[in-house]
Amino acid sequence: MSAEERTTGPLEYRTEAGRMSILGFWIFLGAEVVLFATLFATYAVLFGRTADAPHPAELFEPSMTLIMTFLLLTSSFTCGIAIHEMRRGNAKGLATWLIITLLLGLGFLGAEIYEFVHYVHEGATLPSSAYWSSFFVLAGTHGLHVTLGIGWATLLLIQLARRGLTNVTSRKFFIVSLYWHFLDVVWIFIFTGIYLIGMVI
């Protein structure tokens, strides 16, 4: 464990510990890709096995999912701005943009919960058929990730208020931003793979 510190470059990359954490997180995201890929594969295999429950095309509505997509894509953009502000050394800008990101994320979550409740009222529940099990688990796993991300980033904001921008806090923010962008990418696949295809077929 060398604690030698570089004096140039982004803060989060200056220590060996920082670089290792970021690499470790990238590998973790690799594992997350496999996790979601498995869920997508399960979903694809179970597609059409709706039994007596409603067919997805009857329930999916373009408007709601478009709003969710808009919220999450925008949050990814604002998250990018937040990291940009962090790189410029602007802790206040980082906090502001990250709070906007989290609010958008909360909006997304709210919309998703509303949607799930709507489906359940229409008779599409977790136990109603293999198809709906795989839908709720796939979308729900993504939603759970977003929830954890919001909780995590909130903890980091408290640390930022206490400690300011150091190479440790900036590393943590950088990692949470990677996580957030990853969730955005997964959502794009959910949006196209589940909602768009589900509406058409």
Token pair recorded at residue 65: 């999912």
Q: Among 66, 113, 117, 155, which residue sits at the site for other proteins (rule: CB under 8 A)?
A: 155
Under rule CB under 8 A, residue 9 binds other proteins:
no
Q: Among 6, 10, 42, 178, which residue sits at the site for other proteins (rule: CB under 8 A)?
A: 42
CB nearer other proteins, residue 32 or residue 67: 32
Under rule CB under 8 A, residue 137 binds other proteins:
yes
Q: Among 74, 90, 96, 159, which residue sits at the site for other proteins (rule: CB under 8 A)?
A: 159
Q: What is the largest CA-CA distance in the chain?
A: 64
H-helix or E-strand containing 133? Answer: helix 130-163
CA 151 to CA 169: how far, in whole Å? 16
35 contact partners, CB below 8 Å, separation of at least 6: 141
Under rule CB under 8 A, residue 127 binds other proteins:
yes
List the interface residues with other proteins, window 51-80 (CB under 8 A). Answer: 51
CB under 8 A, 24+ apart: contacts of 15-19: 15/167, 17/171, 18/167, 18/168, 18/171
Q: Among 5, 45, 57, 123, which residue sits at the site for other proteins (rule: CB under 8 A)?
A: 45
CA atoms within 13 A on the CB side of 125: 5
Per CB under 8 A, residues contacting other proteins are 1-3, 16-17, 19-21, 23-24, 27-28, 30-32, 34-35, 38-39, 42, 45-46, 49-51, 126-134, 136-137, 151-152, 155-156, 158-159, 163, 168, 172
